[in-house]
């Protein structure tokens, strides 16, 4: 704000050129309004990190059937293994004239041995062509290691209390090596089979790999065996579970 004075009778004054007295007036000055400072632009948002891709679904593994037992399965051995060179009538696991129980044991356990017993009993199967046959020969399929080891795991054997000892021998069939444990000339001891059957007891060394029926028999799940009469007019095969 400023004050100006005008002289009397000032003809140059456009407002009152003929005023007899001097006078003054006030000037108001207005400064221009300062423009607003521009609003700074907003900082751009940081880009969101890209989402991690979902891991691909792993396909479920197909359910596979369990592998067959060692040697193609013990039932296969029962039905097909060539126990004897020749036989007039062969009866298999479907209608055997004799069956063997799961072995009992261990019995009579000592620091070095334990005994296991199979019970071989007639089935009285009228459908078997070998029903009522006598037993002269009894063969078990065993692991070949039990044939080759020395000393043998089998320390002693009895059938219905009579001491017997089997012959151990190897046998190759279809490229696979098996062991055979064969009891011979049993009809000399038992011309007729007792009504209570036969109890075959094996005394096995406890430190051997063949120290139990499962370790002794080929296939580990059962003991496959065959019986024949004296002149091989009748032969039969079956198996006894061991586990």
- pLDDT, tens only, 41-52: 666 676 666 665
CA distance readout (Å), 177 to 92, 147, 218, 220: 22, 11, 10, 15
For residue 118 the two structure tokens come to 């199979």
pTM attached to this predicted model:
0.67
Q: Does residue 67 sit within a domain?
A: no
Q: Does residue 162 sit within a domain?
A: yes
pLDDT for residue 52: 59
Does 195 lie in the same domain as 79? yes
pLDDT for residue 58: 41
Q: Does residue 44 sit within a domain?
A: no
pLDDT for residue 92: 59
Q: Does residue 60 sit within a domain?
A: no
Q: Does residue 132 sit within a domain?
A: yes
Q: Does residue 52 sit within a domain?
A: no
Does 26 lie in the same domain as 101? no
Does 24 lie in the same domain as 111? no
pLDDT for residue 13: 67
Q: How many domains would you assign to the chain?
A: 2
Q: Which residues of the chain have pLDDT under 70?
A: 1-8, 10-17, 19, 21-44, 46-73, 91-95, 125-127, 243
Does 225 lie in the same domain as 161? yes
Does 25 lie in the same domain as 96? no
Does 163 lie in the same domain as 83? yes
Does 162 lie in the same domain as 87? yes
Does 102 lie in the same domain as 22? no
Does 103 lie in the same domain as 14? no
Q: Does residue 62 sit within a domain?
A: no
Q: Does residue 59 sit within a domain?
A: no
Does 90 lie in the same domain as 196? yes
Host domain of residue 19: 1-30
Does 149 lie in the same domain as 88? yes
pLDDT for residue 67: 34
pLDDT for residue 69: 38
Q: Residue 109 maps to which CATH number?
A: 2.60.40
Does 185 lie in the same domain as 90? yes
């Amino acid at each position: 704000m400023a004050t100006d004075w005008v002289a009397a009778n000032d003809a140059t004054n456009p407002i009152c050129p003929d005023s007899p007295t001097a006078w003054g007036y006030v000037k108001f000055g207005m400064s221009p309004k300062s423009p607003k400072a521009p609003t700074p632009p907003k900082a751009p948002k940081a880009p969101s990190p890209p989402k991690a891709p979902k891991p691909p679904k792993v396909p479920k593994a197909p359910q596979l059937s369990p592998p067959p037992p060692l040697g193609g399965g013990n039932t296969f051995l029962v039905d097909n293994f060539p126990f004897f060179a020749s036989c007039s009538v062969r009866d298999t696991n479907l209608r055997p004239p004799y069956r063997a129980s799961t072995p009992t044991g261990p019995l009579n356990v000592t620091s070095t041995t334990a005994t296991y017993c199979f019970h071989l009993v007639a089935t009285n199967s009228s459908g078997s062509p070998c029903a009522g046959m006598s037993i002269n020969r009894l063969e078990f399929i065993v692991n070949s290691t039990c044939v080759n080891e020395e000393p043998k795991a089998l320390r002693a054997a009895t059938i219905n209390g009579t001491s017997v000892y089997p012959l151990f021998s190897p046998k190759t069939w279809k490229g696979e090596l098996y062991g055979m444990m064969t009891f011979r000339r049993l009809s000399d001891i038992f011309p007729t089979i007792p009504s209570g059957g036969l109890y075959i007891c094996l005394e096995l060394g406890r430190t051997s790999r063949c120290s139990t029926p499962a370790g002794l028999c080929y296939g580990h799940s059962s003991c496959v065996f065959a019986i024949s009469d004296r002149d091989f007019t009748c032969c039969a095969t079956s198996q006894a579970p061991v586990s």
